[in-house]
Amino acid sequence: QVHPVESGGRRVRHGDSLRRACVVSGRTFSNYVMGWFRQAPGKVREFVAAVSWSGYNTRYAESVKGRFTVSRTRDKDPGYLQMGGLSAEDTSVYYCAAAKGYGPPSELTDYEYWGVGTQVTVAS
């Protein structure tokens, strides 16, 4: 029943910024963490960013640190992934995921509820 839903895909230009939202519907637990992952064609799904249930603790992959910001309000939706300084390397399908707990963890296997993904394309 738990189903994260990302906001729709977008095509942007190099250097642009973009904010995507994630709403986790049908929750059956009071506390959860929210993670963001991405997967490009032919590549494995990789960790991008995560935020704890409180919204106070965050983690970032080195590839996006300083450019992306993940946020949420404690026990409320939506959460957000603010992306800045976008380049072609950021072109990917972005997934929002949720898990029980406080965290935030950064491992793929730590998340059990996944959105269907949203396409972010950064044009040359």
**Separation between Cα atoms, residue 6 and residue 22, nearest integer Å:** 4
Give the single-character DSSP code of 42.
Answer: T
Residue 27 confidence (pLDDT) = 63
Is the predicted pLDDT of residue 60 greater than 80, yes or no? yes
Residue 48 confidence (pLDDT) = 98
Per cent of the chain over pLDDT 70 is 97
Contact 26, 95 (CB under 8 A): no
Is the predicted pLDDT of residue 29 greater than 70, yes or no? no
| Tokens 């009071």 -> residue | 30
